[in-house]
Amino acid sequence: MGFNYVQSGSVALWTGDPNCQAGHDYMCTWLRTHVSPYPVTWITGDTRTQGNVGEALAFCVGKFGRLHTYHPFVANAFAPFSGISRNEIDILWIGFGTTPDDDRAIIQEVKTTFAQDLAYAKNLLSDYEKAFGVDPKVQFNTHLGKVKVELEFTHKRPDLAKRVNALTATTPANAKRIVCIPTLVHDLAGADPAGTLSAIKSAMIAKGWVSVHPWSIALSDIKLRFPRIAQDQP
């Protein structure tokens, strides 16, 4: 599919397969088919679009990889060049199992950095704090309510909408059916992503989260590659 991963401890390290250009080409093809407007002129220093493209990349890696059976509900991945960034869970994946007891929710927050020190990854922690924070507009259960509406009225699946109720939670510790995938999109030549994301996992576990499985998604020369992807250039 253009991407593959190796496991390093608890961290999945994704990159282009068989090389970064293959991942680059895959993204251009997906954007060409699914996103409008595309291509677009890249504006240097536009960190909002940078983050949105990172979310689109994370969606593609997930949907056409390990999460292909899950239903995705995205904030910005389907409109990465819109000029806005919606303050929601970046990607909320809902997986319906053989029985309701097998149902799961995946919260995937995504951060994108061009800096090689990967220090920006620490901002993933504040994103996950919002899930059970004080602002009801961005709380996890609020997002589940939107998922129920979409499943029932857009996808015409009231049977699945009813099953969403069992996924609600009030704290990280009682979120037994929630899997967290904190995701960092970064340069392949950067600092050790496994170590960086392992530290993120440890901090989240200390906050009470039960299931945390970080992802690194790396492309070579990402600062130069993202503008070329936006402009549909090889």
Give mean pLDDT, residues 185-208: 97
Tell me which of 55-59, 187-191, 225-229 is least confident.
187-191
Dump pLDDT digits (tens) for 90-118.
Answer: 999 999 999 999 999 999 999 999 999 99
Q: Kindly report the pTM of this predicted structure.
A: 0.97
Domain definitions of the chain by residue range:
11-230
Query: Angle at the Cα of 34 (from 56 to 1), degrees rounded to 5?
Result: 65
In b/e form, how buried is each residue of 147-173, taking b as 16+ CB within 10 angstroms?
Answer: bbebbbeeeeeeebbebbeebebeebe
Q: Using CA atoms, how far apart are residues 14 and 16, in angstroms rounded to an integer?
A: 7
- At residue 178, what are phi and psi to the nearest 5 degrees? -105, 130
Q: Residue 225: its pLDDT value, please?
A: 98
Please list the alpha-helical segments (H only) found in 77-192. Answer: 123-129, 140-149, 158-163
Dump pLDDT digits (tens) for 47-98.
Answer: 999 999 999 999 999 999 999 999 999 999 999 999 999 999 999 999 999 9
The closest of 59, 1, 57 to 229, measured between CA atoms, is 57
Query: Angle at the Cα of 168 (from 162 to 174), degrees rounded to 5?
Result: 145
Helix (H, G, I), strand (E, B) or coil at 81: coil
Residue 1 has pLDDT above 90, yes or no: no
Q: Using CA atoms, how far apart are residues 101 and 120, in angstroms rounded to an integer?
A: 36
